[in-house]
Amino acid sequence: MGISIWQLLIILAIVLVLFGAKRLKNVGSDLGGAIKGFKKAMHEGEDD
């Protein structure tokens, strides 16, 4: 009873309509930068 591909496509379409493609791209790049910073901080913490 998982989420089917059609349900994911509908959710993606709704998000795209609500936020717009440009804003969604900015959110994705911000999230990627945050994850990269978190991984870097975790790696630096292991060195100490």
Could you write out the DSSP letters of every residue in 2-48? ---HHHHHHHHHHHHHHH-HHHHHHHHHHHHHHHHHHHHHHHHHHH-
Please count the structural domains in the chain: 1
Domain that holds residue 46: 20-48
Does a structural domain hold residue 11? no
DSSP strands (E only) in 1-48 = none
Global pTM reads 0.50
Average pLDDT estimate for 13-20:
84
The pLDDT mean for the chain works out to 84
Does a structural domain hold residue 25? yes
Does a structural domain hold residue 37? yes
Give the DSSP letter of residue 42: H
Does a structural domain hold residue 43? yes
Does a structural domain hold residue 24? yes
- 19 Cβ neighbours under 8 A, 6+ residues apart: 27
